[in-house]
């Protein structure tokens, strides 16, 4: 029944886009199948695709958009991929999007194909971790990302001046360049009447992207990496001392802290975060655009990213390869993604050119060249110890521990709830006390 409902949801949300004009450079493949089906969970890439890719004549693009909520997207996608072998040509999945938290589920399966065999062979300008993330255990590359997502510490200039005496990114970086330093700044911020973060989970990704052990070991046992434990310890200390608000990463209570009357110094995120998720800070009447800056923070990390994966059985492999090549190797398109869409592209040559431009800067960041900062950080990103269990484990540990931080359950009960949630989602995984 769940599969049937998911399939109905997917079919109900199909959007057809007939090939049309007004496309920027990119594209140029010959038509094979008449319909190109793309599965995604939101319309971000759809917007870029429609602006910058020239669809071959005679091809209609079908967008199957299914929200991520409750795992809906993966359920609908899995149903479609399961039926791929028996689907009519015009109904086959050609390309689908995936995030870092669950990409390995698809790259390490027969549902995806080797893109080097269909014409995507030049990865000389892409960032190494984006290729590693799209490869299976044997190194076969199954897709590409149109963006690179190094994540920065985004801080309020005015609050930094009050707390640290400076808002200069280089000087701020010196003062927050390790966790011990960052924790000291949290104490200083509290003394001045500020929060260091607006969510106990704000720093989570910085720790989780640098784990020294995967969530599940080779014997199928759940384990807590030292870095995850370090986040728990920090979040517990921040909560007890009033250094942070105990809210979810997307909660309104956190987001209101982005207004100019907010009392929070630091947020963490990549280019897509401050461009698409910090709307309150950019509000014309209540916001504080320009009163922000970025630096690497306590540790290099990335957050998110969208990968384009090649579905096995696609009858549009020429177009499939052309789409991928366009969004990683077409310098005109990649430049537009940076300058017109405020993205950090997956083309090092383009990014480095813009990083060196003395006239380029972000108004939101008070004129700071964010591309230069991200370009310097990108080489430090690691994609290691990732598993197919990451999305559920990462989400659950944050939500379960927050119940403890807020005093709703004991610490032991919070962990038991976490173990229970993992077991319910992954029955084959061995969890403590279960």
On the question of pLDDT at 392 being above 70, the answer is yes
Q: For 165-194, what is each residue's pLDDT tens digit?
A: 999 999 999 999 999 999 999 999 999 999
* Beta pairing, strands 93-98 & 35-40: parallel
Which residues 6+ apart lie within 8 Å of 402 measured at CB? 200, 201, 246, 248
Tokens 């969530």 -> residue: 215
3-state secondary structure of 429: coil
Distance CA(211)–CA(221), nearest Å, equals 16
- Backbone dihedral angles phi then psi of residue 42, each to the nearest 5 degrees: -150, -175
Distance CA(27)–CA(44), nearest Å, equals 19
Q: Which two tokens stand for residue 208?
A: 């989780």
Query: Average pLDDT, whole number, for the chain?
Result: 92
Q: How many CA atoms lie within 13 A of 133 on its CB side?
A: 31
3-state secondary structure of 262: coil
State residue 434's pLDDT score.
53
Q: For 146-156, what is each residue's pLDDT tens digit?
A: 999 999 999 99
Q: Which of 61, 5, 2, 4 has its CA nearest to residue 29?
A: 61
On the question of pLDDT at 5 being above 50, the answer is no
Residue 165, CA distances (Å) to 101, 152, 170, 210, 358 in order: 38, 21, 13, 30, 26
Burial (0-12, 13-18, 19+ Cβ within 10 Å), 191: exposed
On the question of pLDDT at 28 being above 60, the answer is no
Q: For 257-296, what is each residue's pLDDT tens digit?
A: 999 999 999 999 999 899 889 999 999 999 999 999 999 9
On the question of pLDDT at 400 being above 50, the answer is yes
Distance CA(259)–CA(265), nearest Å, equals 12
Distance CA(381)–CA(98), nearest Å, equals 19
Please tell me the pTM assigned to this model.
Answer: 0.85
Rounded to 10 degrees, what is the CA torsion of 188, 194, 195, 198? Answer: -160
Distance CA(205)–CA(121), nearest Å, equals 31
Tokens 């991928």 -> residue: 324
Distance CA(65)–CA(272), nearest Å, equals 20
Burial (0-12, 13-18, 19+ Cβ within 10 Å), 304: middle
On the question of pLDDT at 406 being above 80, the answer is yes
State residue 93's pLDDT score.
98
How far does CA 32 lie from the centroid of its chain? 32
Cβ proximity of 220 and 429 under 8 Å: yes
On the question of pLDDT at 8 being above 70, the answer is no
Tokens 């700071």 -> residue: 368
State residue 23's pLDDT score.
42
Distance CA(262)–CA(260), nearest Å, equals 5
Q: For 320-377, what is each residue's pLDDT tens digit?
A: 999 999 999 999 999 999 999 989 999 999 999 999 999 999 999 999 999 999 999 9
Which residues are paired to 39 by β-bridges? 64, 96
Q: How many CA atoms lie within 13 A of 17 on its CB side?
A: 21
Distance CA(156)–CA(266), nearest Å, equals 7
Distance CA(184)–CA(206), nearest Å, equals 17
Q: For 116-132, what is each residue's pLDDT tens digit?
A: 999 999 999 999 999 99
Element (H, E) at 396: helix 390-405
Q: Which two tokens stand for residue 119?
A: 């014409």
Number of Cβ atoms within 10 Å of the Cβ of 415: 20
3-state secondary structure of 319: helix
State residue 299's pLDDT score.
94
Distance CA(334)–CA(144), nearest Å, equals 14
Q: Which two tokens stand for residue 65?
A: 């958009």
Q: For 71-93, what is each residue's pLDDT tens digit?
A: 899 999 999 999 999 999 999 99
Burial (0-12, 13-18, 19+ Cβ within 10 Å), 22: exposed
Cβ proximity of 76 and 99 under 8 Å: no
3-state secondary structure of 9: helix
Distance CA(318)–CA(37), nearest Å, equals 14
């Amino acid at each position: 029944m769940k599969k049937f409902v998911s399939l109905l949801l997917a079919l109900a949300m199909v959007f057809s886009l007939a090939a049309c004009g007004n496309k920027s450079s990119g594209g140029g493949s010959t038509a094979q199948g008449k319909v190109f089906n793309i599965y995604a969970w939101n319309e971000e890439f759809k917007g870029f695709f429609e602006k910058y890719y020239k669809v071959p004549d005679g091809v209609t693009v079908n967008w199957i958009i299914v929200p991520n909520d409750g795992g809906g997207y993966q359920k609908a996608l899995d149903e479609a991929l399961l039926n791929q072998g028996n689907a009519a040509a015009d109904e086959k999945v050609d390309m689908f999007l995936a995030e870092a938290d669950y990409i390995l589920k698809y790259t390490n399966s027969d549902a995806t194909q080797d893109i080097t065999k269909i014409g995507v062979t030049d990865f000389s300008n892409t960032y190494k971790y984006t290729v590693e993330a799209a490869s299976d255990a044997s190194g076969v590359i199954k897709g590409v990302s149109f963006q690179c997502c190094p994540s920065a510490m985004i801080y309020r200039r005015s609050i930094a001046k009050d707390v640290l005496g400076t808002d200069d990114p280089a000087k701020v970086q010196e003062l927050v360049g390790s966790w011990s330093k960052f924790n000291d700044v949290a104490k200083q911020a509290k003394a001045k009447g500020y929060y260091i973060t607006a969510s106990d989970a704000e720093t989570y990704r910085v720790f989780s992207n640098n784990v020294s052990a995967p969530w599940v070991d080779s014997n199928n046992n759940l384990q807590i990496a030292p870095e995850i434990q370090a986040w728990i310890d920090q979040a517990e200390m921040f909560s007890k001392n009033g250094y942070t608000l105990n809210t979810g990463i997307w909660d309104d209570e956190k987001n209101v802290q982005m207004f100019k009357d907010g009392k929070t110094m630091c947020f963490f995120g990549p280019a897509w975060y401050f461009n698409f998720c910090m709307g309150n800070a950019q509000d014309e009447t209540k916001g504080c655009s320009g009163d922000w800056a970025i630096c690497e923070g306590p540790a290099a990390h990335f957050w998110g990213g969208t990968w384009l994966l090649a579905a096995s059985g696609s009858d549009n492999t020429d177009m499939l390869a052309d789409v991928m090549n366009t969004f990683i190797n077409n310098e005109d398109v990649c430049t537009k993604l940076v300058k017109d869409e405020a993205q950090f592209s997956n083309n090092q040559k383009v990014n480095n050119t813009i990083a060196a431009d003395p006239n380029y800067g972000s108004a939101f960041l008070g004129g700071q060249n964010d591309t230069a900062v991200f370009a310097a950080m990108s080489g430090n990103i690691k994609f290691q110890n990732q598993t197919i269990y990451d999305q559920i484990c990462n989400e659950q540990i944050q939500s379960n521990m927050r119940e403890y931080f807020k005093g709703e359950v004991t610490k032991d009960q919070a962990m038991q709830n976490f173990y229970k949630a993992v077991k319910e989602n992954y029955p084959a995984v061995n969890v403590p006390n279960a």
